[in-house]
A and B are shown apart, each in its own frame.
Chain A
Amino acid sequence: MMPAIEFRDVYFRYNEDAPWVLKKFNLKIKANETVAIIGHNGSGKSTIAKLANGLLVPQAGEILINDRKLTTSNVWEIRQKIGMVFQNPENQFVGTTVKDDVAFGLENRGVSRKEMIERIHTSLTEVGMEDYQNHEPHNLSGGQKQRVAIASVMATYPGILLLDEATSMLDPRGRKEILSTINDLKEELEITMVMITHDLHEITLADRVIVMNEGQIYIDTTVDQLFNDHQGLQSIGLSLPLTVELAIELEQYDYQFATYPLDNEEFLEALWTSNLKK
């Protein structure tokens, strides 16, 4: 199967005096794969998203979307295939009401009025904002704005969804709701998802986790193997989830963990088993 996103020997820096943000960077993301890209601030992870939909242009190398090379002449066409949700919802609002905002992307794509009304309703319901259809964006809280931004993108049915720290402004409950919505949508629509994130809940949704450091891939692994190299991850400025930290400390007291637990239930189960064996 052709990859949804491919980077071939990509070099990028913001200007000529600046250091390389990406150095000979290679990446393949398969269609319908869910990938989390993590790394400390400044590790190059957001740059990947901006390159993938042509917001930035690499100094060298190639970027392919659905096996087509991204060029200045097809960038507009390719952007229809990549829905992008940014960290800050303030920068992505165009409508004067919530409803208009979701409609904007649909109008640009020539969706019929009847379908538009349906899609606006569905996508706003999915993010729990259906009661706010006529509200003005500037009166919404940050989290509400971000939910509308996500609804706007989801309403256009992109084949690839890039989430650039899209849930970082939401409260824990709102985040969970959106993540499960995105997960449902992914299953229904066969969507490729790339989540650039610091959030462990987001990471656990991914089939694959890529850790970035200094413009290169530090590890390309799965969620349950991720924290095996906890010392390495900490040395490149990542912090560990509480359950992993506790598990590491408990190893000193002869408790054993086959894989580092990512949530409370995994932690308890491992602690229980290990406690029995002692």
Chain B
Amino acid sequence: MDIQFEKVSYTYQVNTPFSYQALKDINLEIKTGEFVAIVGHTGSGKSTLLQHINGLLLPTEGRVQVGDFLLSRKNKRQDLKKLREKAGVVFQYPEHQLFEETVERDISFGLKNFQVPADEIQTRIMDALEKVHLSEDVLAKSPFELSGGQMRRVAIAGVLAMNPEVLILDEPTAGLDPKGQQDIMNMFNHLHKTKNMTTILVTHQMNHALAYADHIFVLADGSVQMEGTPKQIFSQADELKKANLDMPDVLSLIKRINQMFGTDIAYERRQPAALAKEIAERLRENKRL
């Protein structure tokens, strides 16, 4: 499902003294199978934008095309349920939406709502559990007995069980410890690669945008300020600064090393071990010269 925003604006509480324009004339395109990051400072309009993708918000002006679905003010009455089955959203703190008595019932809630045939529900649940790396024995437990990280996985499993074609992630790692963050991002990356799922990551963590995205949109003040590959985006440090965003840690460190030692080390998505090897080799070469 290709996604296209055409001149989209959105204003909260329109025609009231509290009217607030969160999105201004947004144009963007996301192709099927891409891993896209939407980054921006707090209040830049990221979360408002993502709610347009599955029709939770309709644009005040302009139109959003998601696969066969056209979303606009003029085109209100259509079956958004079908769209929401295909475009799954993992909201911030999804575990706060858990409510059922058991994990199994919680995961199957959405499936029943979307009239998935009863004989298919069990396989879908088992599939979703496997995707989020939880074992079968959590099924009978209350979701509220689980740890925070496990609860989040259950909530994510509920979204994945719908077999969405597009997965929209709103700050999916917020509140997890660093190891939990890494685990969950690796999980999404794996799903993206193996299931060819279009993945849209809304985040203010530049480190994650750098490590996983094919394409990045930078939002500032409700507009798209920059777009491009991670390499293109993060080579424009000044522009990024204007959007109140920092460079990813690893890039600012490499940049400083290059300045200090006159090297030209590149990141190339290297893990620390490989990067350390590169640094050591380059410094040694440098000494020989």
Contact = CB atoms under 8 A, between A and B. Distances in A.
Interface of A: 40-42, 87-88, 90, 134-136, 139-144, 165, 168-174, 198, 237-239, 242-243, 245-246, 249-250, 252-253, 255, 264, 267-268, 271-272, 275, 278
A141 B47 contact: yes
B177 A143 contact: no
A249 B278 CA distance: 11
Contacts of B149: 41
Interface in B49-96: 92-93, 96
Interface residues of B, number: 47
Specify the main secondary structure of chain B where it touches its partner: helix
Given A174-B42, A238-B177, A249 B273 contact: yes
A255 B283 CA distance: 11
A242 B18 contact: no
A41 B245 CA distance: 28
A134 B20 CA distance: 12
Contact of B175 (A42, A87, A136): A87
B178 A239 contact: yes
9 contacts: A41-B176, A143-B43, A168-B175, A169-B92, A171-B42, A172-B206, A238-B178, A250-B280, A271-B279
A40 B150 CA distance: 13
B256 A268 contact: yes
A4 to B, nearest CB: 26
Interface stretch (B28-36, B159-167, B225-233, B247-255): B247-255
Contact of A41 (B96, B180, B204): B180
Contact of B148 (A41, A143, A264): A41
Contacts of B175: 87-88, 165, 168-169
Nearest to A142: B92
A89 B149 CA distance: 19
Contacts of B196: none
B177 A40 contact: yes
B12 interface: yes
Contacts of A90: 96
A100 to B, nearest CB: 14
A173 B41 contact: yes
Given A41-B177, A264-B252, A278-B287, A253 B277 contact: yes
B154 to A, nearest CB: 15
Contacts of B113: none
A141 B149 CA distance: 23
Contacts of A242: 249-250, 253, 272
B279 A170 contact: no
Contacts of B287: 275, 278
Contact of A238 (B179, B273, B275, B283): B179
B147 interface: yes
Contacts of A87: 175
Contact of A249 (B92, B260, B272): B272
B179 A40 contact: yes
Interface in B122-166: 147-149
Contacts of B261: 275
Contacts of A135: 18, 20
Nearest to B273: A249
A246 B275 contact: yes
Contacts of B245: 171, 173
A238 B181 CA distance: 11
B276 interface: yes
User: 4 nearest interchain CB pairs?
Assistant: A249-B276, A143-B42, A171-B204, A253-B280
A161 B11 CA distance: 37
A253 B277 CA distance: 8
Contacts of A165: 175
Given A136-B18, A142-B92, A171-B42, A198 B178 contact: yes
Contacts of A134: 18
A242 B247 CA distance: 14
Contact of A144 (B13, B42, B204): B42
Contacts of B221: none
Contacts of A237: 177, 179
Nearest to A199: B178
Contact of B276 (A169, A238, A246): A246
B3 interface: no
Given A169-B174, A237-B179, A272-B260, A264 B253 contact: yes
B20 A139 contact: yes
A249 B272 CA distance: 7
